[in-house]
Amino acid sequence: MNPFIVLFLIGLAVAADYFWFDVDKKRWGWMKNWSTFTKGLFVSGFVIVSILIYIGLSMTFFN
């Protein structure tokens, strides 16, 4: 699968869960006292780790 499509789907899933599905803040409520910078840093780290996992699992197909 195209890596850009995978990145888009991961980002879309996280954004949809944060902004739409979790309206009562039960899953993401532990972040409510965080600053915007810290939340952005967390999401960026999550995306980077997801990319690394995807690349690591796909290495057999890249060779």
The two tokens of residue 56 are 């690591």
Q: Which of 19-23, 35-39, 44-48, 56-60 has the lowest mean pLDDT?
A: 19-23
% residues pLDDT > 70 (the chain): 84
Statement: residue 37 has pLDDT above 90: yes
Taking CA atoms, 60 is separated from 5, 14, 23, 48, 63, in Å, by 19, 27, 40, 20, 6
State pLDDT tens for residues 7-34: 788 888 877 777 776 666 677 677 778 8
Statement: residue 42 has pLDDT above 70: yes
